[in-house]
Structure 1
């Protein structure tokens, strides 16, 4: 099992790219910082616009329509994403707030407020033989709701303006222009370019990841210049990993437990687990720049989602494989899946 996970890590250039981006930002912060030779502001804005334009082109509206009928499932997924996660932040802050710098604690709030992923949620649901149309619908709905709800939650709990970010109204407008507008434009152009986008899904996924790596580099360049590594140490990374693992374990357990108590079929519970526990890095890094502006702690703010993202991929890969074997392993797969155990196994491998 450990060997397979290490093999996946070795093959995943995206995770290696994020690590390299942080390393390069540490050594060459001037190049990618605001006002630097890379012109990070323009590169980031155009990259974000193209990501969501291509996602709009590639997403089938027919799949969305087919997944709309499972209202209990949709309610659970969206409640997990935008209600349960923010509620979990309060005991998390009470327990660990004294161990973290303020920027990192704000990053965990931001993590709790983020929408779900689209591509990995759907992919894991498909591998686990869950309700794929419902996964597509929920992941997409979560992304759209997050345009308003993510900055609203941060503003409600902490106050964006108090964190050195943009005013709430400006943040929502900027997010809508940078994320929603290109997505809608992609949907409008889908009848003309949809088939072309479908044939080049691998290119779209690769482009998506490359832009995120560039965004991570630019974000950390600004933070390194502001003293990110001189004011924090290794203990911050350890605390971040532990906090991300704890939140993921709680989310996996609660989504599975509540789905079972609501009497959902196995396929819907699988969808709830994978869509209700995920948080998006693809939207998270761009939205952080739009919500928090030139906050000098931006590198710390995005650190929790950078840890949570690979961790959720590792753990959910293990769970998806277990779910896929449910006919031969157990008549009650959800009861057999141990989210906390899977999370801790992944943490031990990473550390």
Structure 2
């Protein structure tokens, strides 16, 4: 187990599981559900406001000129993944329920992660400034591209709340406007936010847990677990594993064929193969009808843990390889 620490779930994953259990046993209803939903919306707005105040423009500008790398990452995130989701339908349909397949398609339309993509790129000795730029651009573009892609690839329109433009407008008001407000106020509060990163982590994780609780409460009240047999959950695990493996293989092959150096390949693989739980769960709350959100976010929650485990192992391995390559010439020199 000392060699495989990435197999141990982190505290946040355990908190997610605990939240699902709590929503299953004690789902909120009536006036309590209205109050929790209001608090959740405020928490999501605060989350994106703080992210806007935290984002360093200097770091983004440092990697902004690497347009070929960014183009590959964005195409992987918003073109490769949706195509994989659609292409896998003949395999997926017998394994999971229609609601879970809708969740898989939604997962495929989401932007890349920001924090973990940058963190893993840094651990593996990749191009960190480019990772900051690509992940941030993916997160911002996802506000517009995700609802548009959902309207194209998701055929179960009964699960969504309205037209694509209505959804874009709702996401802009709930996510982008607070983010831009945070960016505008960064000169005033940016230093305070940087000194209090624990607050951002608390709001980040707390808002996600609130959304998960409200989503699963609504889904449980609608009979979620009666419509999700155990074989479908096992099938979901298999589908997510195949989707992640395909994304990692394609980004690795493509980055090599296009002639990127080692540092850039690491950035492309980590930024182009991951999906954002922090953006995805709030978006699901806006895009999908309340009774459908619980089943829709299940694939994302599972994929989130799988990508963290696999990418942590890859980052540690590539870091060791880089360290060994740098040490080898020194060891070969005569004393």
- Per-residue CA deviations over 1:284-338 (Å, capped at 9, x if unaligned) read 11100100132x232111001000001111110000011111235569xxxxxxx
Q: 1:81 maps to what in 2?
A: 77
Looking at CA atoms only, which structure, 1 or 2, has the larger radius of gyration? 2
Give the one of 303, 310, 317 matched to 1:315: 310
- Per-residue CA deviations over 1:218-253 (Å, capped at 9, x if unaligned) read 110000111111122222221121111111111111
Q: Does 1:176 align with 2:172?
A: yes
2:277 alignment partner, SS class: coil
Give the one of 152, 158, 175 matched to 1:156: 152
The 3 A distance-change label for structure 1 pair 148 and 178 is: same
Report the alpha carbon displacement of residue 155 of structure 1 after superposing the two structures with TM: 0.4
Q: Does 1:5 align with 2:1?
A: no
- Per-residue CA deviations over 1:129-165 (Å, capped at 9, x if unaligned) read 1111110101110011111111111101225744342
Distance in 1 separating the partners of 2:159 and 2:218: 16
The 3 A distance-change label for structure 1 pair 267 and 286 is: same
Report the alpha carbon displacement of residue 16 of structure 1 after superposing the two structures with TM: 0.9
Give the one of 314, 319, 331 matched to 1:324: 319
Give unmatched runs, 5+ long, in structure 2.
327-335
- Per-residue CA deviations over 1:35-74 (Å, capped at 9, x if unaligned) read 4356222011101101000101111000010011111110
Give the one of 88, 96, 101 matched to 1:105: 101
- Per-residue CA deviations over 1:89-141 (Å, capped at 9, x if unaligned) read 12211211132211101000000000001000001111111111110101110
TM-score (norm 2): 0.93
1:99 alignment partner, SS class: coil
- Per-residue CA deviations over 1:258-302 (Å, capped at 9, x if unaligned) read 0010000100000001000110000111100100132x2321110
Give the one of 183, 203, 206 matched to 1:207: 203
Q: Which structure ranks higher in relative contact order (CA pairs < 8 Å, sequence separation ≥ 6)?
A: 2
Q: How many residues align?
A: 326
Distance in 2 separating the partners of 1:37 and 1:298: 15
Question: Do the aligned partners of 2:95 and 2:236 also contact (CA within 8 Å) in 1?
Answer: no
Distance in 2 separating the partners of 1:293 and 1:162: 8
Q: 1:343 maps to what in 2?
A: none
Q: 1:270 maps to what in 2?
A: 266
Q: 1:348 maps to what in 2?
A: none
The 3 A distance-change label for structure 1 pair 34 and 170 is: farther
The 3 A distance-change label for structure 1 pair 54 and 291 is: same
TM-score (norm 1): 0.89
The 3 A distance-change label for structure 1 pair 37 and 259 is: closer
Question: Do the aligned partners of 2:85 and 2:108 also contact (CA within 8 Å) in 1?
Answer: yes
CA RMSD of aligned residues (A): 1.7
